[in-house]
């Protein structure tokens, strides 16, 4: 039986919405819905895919963990996938989990370890001969960001191991990077003194800090690390999770506080969960639950994993604090990318240590599903004590005057028509000159990873826009000292510094300029690919979809977005205005091809090489005329494999592509053949 069009449409919508939430959580560190609602979306998508197998796809969020690695960092392959645990929200689910485990390993009673689930971000560490050599974020579960330099600034990440780990050839540890409440308060004191934006919560701040490109700033922030897994424990003669924690403690890690070994079965686990939940308010850090793991490693293989989660563990999530309040108004917020988000302004209510005055309603479908109206009394929670959200409406208290919310057809700021593709849940204003977008784009344009305009932060942008000195990004480049010296926050020197910062940015490299434009789907990595392929802004402006999509690493979706921007009236006007204001992005100078032993050859690096770092091997290959590419295909000439090579090695063997070790690569570069 053919799949109904309505089902196909719903699957597309769910995938689009989940991908957006994945990006916000794993990449932007700015989630907007609670875990329980995210899990409900995933459950609905999984059920539709199971009922309609022909709709399954390897690209579906149900088949993957996390999100793509961030831009601006080297990417590294994890030696084993970093999987997420399944979540549960009640004791009965814990009992069901225990029953499944006992059936699979045929035991009456299973010992478990219960550990507090700290509210932070995952980090993988690799030590060789006791020395830290690599730290990587979770990324998409298989590939993450190399943040070694940032991790080295964290006091609780040992640079050298002690105990048995000191002399082990390789020790791999996974854990959580987090901030204490006191650490966040100290950071915010400094932010207030400098007049900078206050950080909203520990988890998002820790995630954003770990992915900063300026290590000197990371070093000033009090990040903490706790381990939760010793990878490949059999290498070290460690047979259980409880003994793994002892091994890590001896190696000088700070293990998760209040960890418990529960040897009397699941009822002891449930009692421990309740005890830890009661401790929650007295802890110096954020925690949103308890992780329950089978203690004995010998059973892990029998229990196995799904595509996303191991079957030997589960995360019990604490319930969120819930209160009622009244919706005063529903306001539409227009972001930098044009996304139009309904926001509920509510009567102030104390919740999880803060006063809540507003809550995102996410999109028109969400407002309709919950039927939230102005004047309604609503239940409000904070997911993970971070994100305020409306759980539901107290319908019996609804005033007769309450009217249904209707998403308008035009932007509430600029009056242009709004657009919502069938397969997406986000409604967008597609007018790039929209005033609400200008502010967000201006902040992004001036940011460190884009045009890096020193002195042009969020508060300065607010002042310039409010006072009418900057109605577009290009207006920034027309500012004069006398325009701004008498504005709030400015004096002679600060005005001079801002003008100098603006002038210094006029000739930034093309890739930075492309990233700064805020074209949808074009981050730093895509901007570098475009700049490298086309060389100049003029060449890229003339390119069609086919030529953009032909660039390695760029597909049709990104190509459509790029060409649409450069061909749209608003995009053309913005570029012409910037060029007229004196912005001249520096073209990419593409050097002559190197004539060497690897001229014209495409190589893939995978795994950890014995002596060379990945960057060193890449430089050596390029110095011999070769090119390092990320994916294995029929066009690949060689795959260079080290320890823990992952799936790329298997694909190379399947395609019959020659596989080299480090020594063979050195011989090949030296001209000795392989």
Give the CATH number, domain containing residue 42: 1.10.287.610
Q: How far apart are CA 613 and CA 245, in angstroms?
A: 29
The number of beta carbons lying within 10 Å of the beta carbon of residue 72 is 16
Q: How far apart are CA 317 and CA 337, in angstroms?
A: 33
Q: How far apart are CA 526 and CA 514, in angstroms?
A: 9
- Contacts for 129 with CB less than 8 Å, ≥ 6 apart: 166, 167, 168, 169
165 with 295, same domain? yes
C-alpha to C-alpha distances, 576 to 159, 249, 548, 625, 642, nearest whole angstrom? 51, 60, 21, 38, 49
Q: How far apart are CA 412 and CA 331, in angstroms?
A: 9
Element (H, E) at 475: helix 473-476
Catalytic residues: 117
Q: Residues 622, 669: contact at Cβ < 8 Å?
A: no
190 with 203, same domain? yes
> CATH no. for residue 647?
3.40.50.10190
Final residue belonging to a domain, choices 336, 370, 397: 397
Helix/strand/coil for 144: strand
Count of domains observed in the chain:
5
Classify residue 410: in a domain, yes or no: no
166 with 269, same domain? yes
> CATH no. for residue 343?
2.40.50.140
Element (H, E) at 205: helix 202-210
125 with 255, same domain? yes
469 with 446, same domain? yes
Q: How far apart are CA 476 and CA 519, in angstroms?
A: 19
Determine the pLDDT at residue 611. 76
Q: Residues 132, 170: contact at Cβ < 8 Å?
A: no
Q: Residues 636, 657: contact at Cβ < 8 Å?
A: yes
What are the DSSP E strand ranges found in 98-187?
112-118, 121-128, 131-137, 143-145, 170-178
197 with 307, same domain? yes
Final residue belonging to a domain, choices 296, 317, 338: 317
Classify residue 592: in a domain, yes or no: no
C-alpha to C-alpha distances, 248 to 116, 235, 314, 365, nearest whole angstrom? 16, 14, 22, 47
Classify residue 145: in a domain, yes or no: yes
Determine the pLDDT at residue 605. 87
351 with 299, same domain? no
Residues in the chain predicted with pLDDT less than 70, given as ranges, are: 1, 22-37, 58-59, 63-72, 192-198, 200, 307, 352-354, 383-387, 552-553, 589-594, 615, 630, 672-674
Determine the pLDDT at residue 354. 63
> Tell me: the pLDDT tens digits for 27-74?
554 566 666 667 778 778 887 887 787 877 766 777 654 444 455 578
Classify residue 428: in a domain, yes or no: no
For the packed helices 662-669 and 614-623, what is the interaxial angle rounded to 10 degrees? 20
CA count, 13 A, side-chain hemisphere, 152 = 14
Q: How far apart are CA 159 and CA 157, in angstroms?
A: 6
The number of beta carbons lying within 10 Å of the beta carbon of residue 620 is 16
The number of beta carbons lying within 10 Å of the beta carbon of residue 1 is 4
User: Domain of 367?
Assistant: 322-397
159 with 203, same domain? yes
Classify residue 485: in a domain, yes or no: yes
Determine the pLDDT at residue 527. 87
Classify residue 252: in a domain, yes or no: yes
Final residue belonging to a domain, choices 317, 333, 359: 317
Plot region of 293 (φ>0 → left; ψ -120 to 50 → alpha; else → beta): beta
Q: How far apart are CA 391 and CA 34, in angstroms?
A: 10
Q: Residues 88, 315: contact at Cβ < 8 Å?
A: yes
Closest CA to 642 of 37, 7, 76: 76
14 with 43, same domain? yes
656 with 513, same domain? no
Q: Residues 630, 639: contact at Cβ < 8 Å?
A: no
Classify residue 588: in a domain, yes or no: no
C-alpha to C-alpha distances, 72 to 450, 532, 621, nearest whole angstrom? 11, 15, 22
Full DSSP string of 159-193: SB--GGGGS-SEEEEEEEEE-BHHHHHHHHHHHHH
Determine the pLDDT at residue 30. 55
> CATH no. for residue 138?
3.30.470.30
Classify residue 155: in a domain, yes or no: yes
87 with 229, same domain? yes
120 with 100, same domain? yes
Q: Residue 361 CA to chain centroid, in angstroms?
A: 21
């Amino acid at each position: 039986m053919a799949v109904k069009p309505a089902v196909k449409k719903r699957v597309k919508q769910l995938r689009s919405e989940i991908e957006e939430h994945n990006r916000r959580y794993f990449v932007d560190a700015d989630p907007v819905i609670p875990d329980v609602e995210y899990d409900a979306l995933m459950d609905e998508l999984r059920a539709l895919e199971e009922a309609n197998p022909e709709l399954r796809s390897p690209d579906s969020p149900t088949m993957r963990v996390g999100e793509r690695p961030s831009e601006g960092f080297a990417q590294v392959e994890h030696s084993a996938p970093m999987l997420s645990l399944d979540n549960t929200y009640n004791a009965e689910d814990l009992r069901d989990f225990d029953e499944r485990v006992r059936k699979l390993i045929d035991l009456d009673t299973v010992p478990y370890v219960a550990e507090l689930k700290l509210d932070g971000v995952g980090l993988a560490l690799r030590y060789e001969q006791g020395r830290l050599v690599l730290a990587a974020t979770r990324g998409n579960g298989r590939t993450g960001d190399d943040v070694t330099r940032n991790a080295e600034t964290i006091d609780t990440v040992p640079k050298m191991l002690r105990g048995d780990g000191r002399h082990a050839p390789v020790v791999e540890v996974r854990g959580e990077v987090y901030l204490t409440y006191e650490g966040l308060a100290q950071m915010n004191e400094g932010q207030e003194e400098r007049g900078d934006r206050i950080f909203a919560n520990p988890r998002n701040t820790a995630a954003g800090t770990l992915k900063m490109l300026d290590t000197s700033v990371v070093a000033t922030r009090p990040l903490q690390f706790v381990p939760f897994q010793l990878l490949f424990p059999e290498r070290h003669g460690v047979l259980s999770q409880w003994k793994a924690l002892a091994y890590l403690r001896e190696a000088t890690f700070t293990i998760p506080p209040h960890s418990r070994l529960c040897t009397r079965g699941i009822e002891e686990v449930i009692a421990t969960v309740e005890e830890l939940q009661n401790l929650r308010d007295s802890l110096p850090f954020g925690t949103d639950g308890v992780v329950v793991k089978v203690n004995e490693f010998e059973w892990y293989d029998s229990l196995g994993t799904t595509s996303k989660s191991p079957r030997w563990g589960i995360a019990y999530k604490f319930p969120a604090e819930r209160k009622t309040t009244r919706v005063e108004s529903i306001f539409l917020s227009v972001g930098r990318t044009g996304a139009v988000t309904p926001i509920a302004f509510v009567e102030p209510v104390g919740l999880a240590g803060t006063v809540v005055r507003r809550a995102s309603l996410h999109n028109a479908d969400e407002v309709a599903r919950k039927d939230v109206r102005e004047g309604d009394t609503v239940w409000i929670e904070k997911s993970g004590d971070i994100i305020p959200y409306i759980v539901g409406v107290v319908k019996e208290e609804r005033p007769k005057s309450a009217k249904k919310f209707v998403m308008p057809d035009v932007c509430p700021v600029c009056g242009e028509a709004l657009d919502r593709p069938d397969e997406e849940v986000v409604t967008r204003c597609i007018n790039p000159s929209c005033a609400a977008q200008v502010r967000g784009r201006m902040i992004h344009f001036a940011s460190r990873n884009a045009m890096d305009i020193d002195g042009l932060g969020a508060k300065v942008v607010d002042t310039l826009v409010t006072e009418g000195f900057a109605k577009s990004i290009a207006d920034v480049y027309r500012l004069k000292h006398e325009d701004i010296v008498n504005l709030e926050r400015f004096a002679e020197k600060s005005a001079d510094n801002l003008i100098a910062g603006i002038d210094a940015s006029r000739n930034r490299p093309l890739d930075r300029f492309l990233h700064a434009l805020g074209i949808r789907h074009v981050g730093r990595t895509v901007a570098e690919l475009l700049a490298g392929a086309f060389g100049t802004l003029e060449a890229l402006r003339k390119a069609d979809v086919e030529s953009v999509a032909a660039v390695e690493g760029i597909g049709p979706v990104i190509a459509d977005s790029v060409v649409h921007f450069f061909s749209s009236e608003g995009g053309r006007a913005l570029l012409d205005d910037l060029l007229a204001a004196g912005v001249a992005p520096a073209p990419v100078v593409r050097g002559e091809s190197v004539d060497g032993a690897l001229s014209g050859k495409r190589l893939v690096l995978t795994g950890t090489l014995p002596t060379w770092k990945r960057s060193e091997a890449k430089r050596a290959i390029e110095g011999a005329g070769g090119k390092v590419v990320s994916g294995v295909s029929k066009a690949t000439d060689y795959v260079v494999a080290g320890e823990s090579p992952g799936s790329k090695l298997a694909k190379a063997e399947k395609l019959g592509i020659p596989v080299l070790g480090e020594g063979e690569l050195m011989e090949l570069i030296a001209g000795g053949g392989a």
